[in-house]
Amino acid sequence: MVQKAERVDAPRNQGRAKGGPRSGRPVGNVTRGTTNPNRMRRLDRWLTGPQAWRLRAAADPLVVDLGYGSSPATAVELFERLSVIRPDVRVVGVEIEPERVRLAKELERPGLSFQLGGFELPVPGRPVLVRAFNVLRQYEEADVENIWRLVQGRLAPGGLFIDGTCDEIGRRVTWVALDAERPLSLSLSLRFGGFELPSEVAERLPKALIHRNVPGEKIHSYLQAMDKAWLDAAPLASFGNRQRWSAMCRTLLDAGWPVQDGPSRWRLGELTVGWDAVAPGWAHAGRVP
């Protein structure tokens, strides 16, 4: 049963240097928990691609899949994909609903476990990666800052927190990447042939941005610039959508947008941009206060 959302408070006495699990009631609310196998593939290939260095360099390869939902399938997939990069990886699926944890424990194996908990991350050690997908979108926008702070305070040096959203089968995916101090970037990943304009991904923006796609906000300007560059690249459609998407990305880069990564990622229907370019007004130019 999904409970009525409660406000999430920022930690008051927890220093960033503390790495142990917190005690007491899990922080957060039970969410709908809907999920499908292979739904997170677009994010996972980013974690095993340009972000793989974080896991390789980690002193402790601890990873948390936060709020994996009614089925642990995506947590299992994350473990299998990250094991290719770091065979000694430890993935902990954290869920706030006890029955989901009980059922998931049947799939435990060396390196993969499941734990009852919430945003406080009740795991021993400090994770190098935390993935929370389709979790924060079920909270209030006003809660986002506090949730970000709470999870950021548990990251290992060089760690990354991913706050993302996707459609039911993972064809339209967006995520914000944060380190221990600030949001770093926004990534969009779309399946070619599944959209007419890139801005259609707006309905799957993370909670921090989904209500900000209005004139005067940076994310609105960014999506409009994507649409214009996509339409301007229409003559390349006969060569395939990969070429057209890559041309769009190049146009945005040339126009001064802080586009990250490069053509190898663009060909996947992926585009990452620096957070400052899309940050909502409350984020104060990209830094969580």
Q: Six-digit token pair at 158? A: 């060089």
Q: Six-digit token pair at 218? A: 């940076």
% of residues, the chain, pLDDT over 90: 82
CB burial of residue 23 (10 Å; 0-12, 13-18, 19+): exposed
**Which pLDDT belongs to residue 101?**
96
Please state the rounded mean pLDDT for residues 65-86: 95
Distance CA 100, CA 93 (A): 10
**Which pLDDT belongs to residue 4?**
38
Domain boundaries, the chain: 1-181
Sequence-distant (6+) residues with CB within 8 A of 110 are none
Please state the rounded mean pLDDT for residues 88-116: 96
**Which pLDDT belongs to residue 2?**
36
Q: Hey, which bits of the chain come out as E strands?
A: 62-66, 90-95, 112-116, 129-133, 160-166, 172-178, 183-190, 259-260, 270-274
Residues 49-72 have pLDDT tens digits of 999 999 999 999 999 999 998 899
State yes or no: pLDDT of 14 exceeds 70.
no
**Which pLDDT belongs to residue 34?**
64
State yes or no: pLDDT of 283 exceeds 80.
no
User: Which H or E element spans position 241?
Assistant: helix 241-254
Distance CA 98, CA 106 (A): 14
Distances (CA, A) of 72 to 25, 94, 284: 22, 10, 36
Sign of CA dihedral 110, 113, 119, 123: negative
State yes or no: pLDDT of 93 exceeds 90.
yes
**Which pLDDT belongs to residue 285?**
42
Task: Report the candidate in 178, 103, 110, 186 with the shortest Cα–Cα distance to residue 148.
Answer: 178
CB burial of residue 131 (10 Å; 0-12, 13-18, 19+): buried
User: What is this structure's pTM?
Assistant: 0.88
Please state the rounded mean pLDDT for residues 74-80: 97
Q: In this structure, which topology does domain 1-181 adopt according to CATH? A: Rossmann fold (3.40.50)
State yes or no: pLDDT of 18 exceeds 90.
no
Sequence-distant (6+) residues with CB within 8 A of 123 are 21, 62, 64, 92, 94, 115, 117
% of residues, the chain, pLDDT over 70: 87
Sign of CA dihedral 110, 114, 119, 120: negative
Question: What's the order of all strands across the beta sheet hosting 90-95?
Answer: 112-116, 90-95, 62-66, 129-133, 160-166, 172-178, 183-190, 270-274, 259-260
State yes or no: pLDDT of 17 exceeds 60.
no
The radius of gyration of the chain from alpha carbons, rounded to an integer in Å, stands at 19
State yes or no: pLDDT of 267 exceeds 60.
yes
Residues 178-230 have pLDDT tens digits of 999 999 999 999 999 999 999 999 999 999 999 999 999 999 999 999 999 99
Please state the rounded mean pLDDT for residues 163-167: 95
Angle between helix 218-232 and 241-254 (nearest 10): 130
**Which pLDDT belongs to residue 117?**
95
Count the Cβ atoms, other than its own, within 10 Å of residue 259. Answer: 21
